[in-house]
Amino acid sequence: MSNIIDQQRIGYGVSKEGDQLFQSYDPAKSSKIGPDFADATPSEVNRACALASQAFETYRKTSGKDKAAFLDAIADEIENVKETLVEVANAESALGLPRLNGECGRTTGQLRFFAKILREGSWRRPIIDCATAEQSGSQGDIRQIQIPLGPVAVFGASNFPLAFSTAGGDTASALAAGCPVVFKAHPAHPQTSALVAEAILKAAQKLNMPEGVFSMVYGNAHQVGGTLVENPHITAVGFTGSYRGGKALFELANRREVPIPVYAEMGSVNPIFFLPNAIAKNSAEMAKNFAGSINLGVGQFCTNPGVFVTFKSAESTEFVNQLVEVLEAQPEGVMLTEGIAKAYCSGVKSLENVAGVEKLLSVDYSESIRVKPGLFQVDLATLKANPSVLTEVFGPTTLHISIEESELPELLSLLEGQITATIFAEEGDEATAASLAEKLEQLAGRTIFNGFPTGVAVNYSMVHGGPYPATTQPGTTSVGGTAILRFTRPVAYQAYPEALLPDELKNENVLGVWRLLNGEWSKNNL
């Protein structure tokens, strides 16, 4: 492992100037492991950004075919070190080999998925608005296409050391768009980041990508990330993490002389609504599956169901009692870091101290890194008096909101923007489900029917985002094919000579583009 780290070059990894050292931490063994890492200095961060800016001049003009080959090569290099990578990631996260093997597959799958999108080409969204005699003041054809923004700063997530990290979704979609990436490794898994960074660099070198197309900096201190966001070469930021962290980066980016977009996914409570006939049909099985969703990954998912709602009835009470039984039988889980464990325990203790909040599981929430699930209950009156109980508690806990059906509109008015919202309904619940679905599409980026929110598919239609405070950019997604559009912008070319147009907009390539001619839209091969 040390040999891999020592091979990193300035601008691509280990600091040669920094003196603020930190190490990996094995949460399962409660011990530090591996070599020392140093926080990158401001000059090193700025050099990485300058390299990225230089690389952009070449990389932005790289063909979709060549960028696709680059992404596929990264996936190949990651697969070449998969066994070691998964073992190192497990030592730094305690997430378990089965979970991390799956996450590694998702990481390479995302890269290959964006490679497929690049080869297909419609992500550039070419549009031709043909000039006609009827258009008053026409200046000729107007043709539009998406172009890359420029160098992107990506911050690794704590809870996904592979899929939302060094070669994760933000990096993959930025590189696919034609944007070089300066990646800030998460301090919870620096060795994992080093292995993946080396894989990216090998792929870049094999395919003669420009120096600086990918760089990595380490930083245990917030100043490293701040320096990165403030650098004038950076044109956008990708972030997955806490509300506090995402909001800080968002504000920093907006205070720049030239503000830039921050695509921050900051979590949510992901409410689930269990309607009466769904509970009556099979409450025992649903309670078992629900407990699995709450406790999946020790609750450390941004789609963890932190709130669920039922209408007051004997059947709802029985469902909650069954959920208590299943959760009580769950073993302790190891959280990712001591900091996350402390925040989790602090969050559940805060719930305990709110008058009117009932604790349904008799768990002692010490500040141990090994934790048990939590389950709390509240009514609407208490919730209205203490809206802070709807704040996300990152970990395996959920809050039951017990209401009368007539109180549903008032409850919905208290909910903020969410990544997901779920309805469980069966025959006889149609009217309530229809009204609820209409409200939830205004609250969440993804709405789900009769399924749990944990687990995010990587496909063309997925939306992993939502209204603020779930994210800072509600019109975008950080997972799925359209994630690439975060790192592009539209440009219109008016009355351009054929020779100066992007290839996708030239007349010989008009198949596969939208065209407006005589007021009628037509499309081919899209």
Residues serving a catalytic function are 265, 302
> 137 in the Ramachandran plot: left (φ > 0), alpha (ψ -120 to 50) or beta?
left
CA 270 to CA 304: how far, in whole Å?
A: 7
Contact 370, 333 (CB under 8 A): yes
Count of CB atoms within 10 A of residue 525's CB? 9
Q: What is the dihedral of CA 285, 289, 294, 300, to 10 degrees?
A: 170
Q: What does the alpha-carbon distance between residue 334 and residue 351 come to, in Å, rounded to a whole number?
A: 21
Nearest 5°: phi and psi at 91? -65, -30
Please report, to the nearest 10 degrees, the dihedral formed by the alpha carbons of residues 10, 14, 15, 21 taken in order: 180
Quote the Cα angle for 35-217-45, to 5°.
135
For residue 517, the number of C-alpha atoms closer than 13 Å in the C-beta half-sphere is 7
- Show the tokens assigned to 110: 């995302």
Helix%, strand%, coil% for the chain, nearest 5? 45, 20, 35
Contact 314, 278 (CB under 8 A): no
DSSP annotation of 361: S
* Spatial separation of the C-alpha atoms in residues 114 and 121, rounded to whole Å: 10
